[in-house]
Amino acid sequence: MSWQETLSQLEAGTVRSATQNEQGHWQANIDVKQAILAAFKAGENTEFSGNYQGFVDKGNLPARQFTVADNVRLVPGGSSVRRGAYVAKGVIIMPPAYINVGAFVDSGTMVDSHALIGSCAQIGKNVHVSAAVQIGGVLEPVGASPVIIEDDAFLGAGVVIVEGVVVKKGAVIAPGVSLSASIPVFDCVNNIMLERGSPIPERAVVIPGTRPMKGEWARNHGLNMACALIVKYRDQHSDASLELESVLR
């Protein structure tokens, strides 16, 4: 399949840059990522005109255009969805926000101001991506899995999620939390530390935390390192407090 066909199928949502197997594990779709890389290689820098006058980018990867029939609210003010990204019906994109090539944003999701959905990131249904959230992207190496945010998750303001972290259904990531492959996550409900690379569990409520650094010098100076803490799992009360106002849609 050519890179042109792959980009069109990505936009239609008929192929994805990452897939979930029967056991619930996510993995990168290498063929799709190779096609995206081929598109970058084939493209040449172009000076755009019209609404995009003054911008220069690969001519074969322009910003997508939407109509009322798409049932996507792309609010004016500097947002952009790149060619090869899927945006489902019912998605709201507040300005300025950016959704990069290969990304998948499912129905009912809100992408708030100054949010980034990186290349190939996968965002589920009814996810709230709050202001200034940064979802890292990955194209190379082609086998590297992107960030996955499953259905009904809530990402608070300023959250940073990178390096293929998976956030399972219904999880709540509080404002200011950073999640990466190297940041440990402590489950204070079950008194365990999650194994590196483990997903954030379903309906977990995660807040930013710190832990003491090792070594006498660090202890003497009271130095701490960032970590993430699971302090509870969602209940009916927390569900009500996170419910999106339907009037906004």
d(CA 182, CA 179): 8
In whole numbers, what is the pLDDT of the chain averaged over residues?
A: 94
More confident residue, 127 or 238: 127
pLDDT at res. 247: 54
Return the pLDDT at 23. Answer: 87
Q: What angle do CA 154, 159, 165 make, to 5 degrees?
A: 80
pTM (2 decimals)?
0.94
Nearest to 206 by CA among 225, 188, 226: 188
Buried b (16+ CB within 10 A) or exposed e, 157-169: bbbbbbbbbbbbb
Question: What burial class does residue 192 get, using C-beta atoms within 10 Å of its C-beta: 0-12 exposed, 13-18 middle, 19+ buried?
Answer: exposed
> What's the average model confidence in pLDDT over 178-200?
96
- pLDDT of 246 > 70? The answer is no
- DSSP states along 94-131: PSS-EE-TT-EE-TT-EE-TT-EE-TT-EE-TT-EE-T
Query: Does residue 202 carry a pLDDT above 70?
Result: yes
CA–CA dist 102, 245 (Å, integer): 29
* Gap between the Cα atoms of 246 and 228, Å rounded: 31
pLDDT bin (cut points 50, 70, 90) of residue 241 is low
pLDDT of residue 50: 85
Q: Of how many residues is the chain composed? A: 249
Long-range contacts of 173-177 (CB under 8 A, 24+ apart): 173/200, 173/206, 174/205, 174/206, 174/207, 174/208, 175/130, 176/208, 177/206, 177/207, 177/208, 177/228
Structural domains of the chain ordered from first start: 64-242 (2.160.10.10)
| pLDDT tier at 51, thresholds 50, 70, 90 | confident
Average pLDDT over residues 145-160: 97
Percent of the chain with pLDDT over 90: 89
Residue 32, pLDDT above cutoff 80: yes
**∠184-190-194 over CA atoms, to 5°?**
25
State how far the Cα of 248 lies from the Cα of 197, in Å rounded to an integer: 36
Cα distances (Å, whole numbers) of residue 141 to 31, 146, 157, 164: 12, 11, 29, 12
**Which pLDDT value is given to residue 235?**
84
In the chain, pLDDT over 70 holds for what percent of residues?
A: 95
pLDDT at residue 236, rounded to an integer = 73
Q: Residue 79's closest CA among 59, 61, 100?
A: 100
Average pLDDT over every residue of 110-128: 98
Helix (H) or strand (E) holding 32: helix 30-42
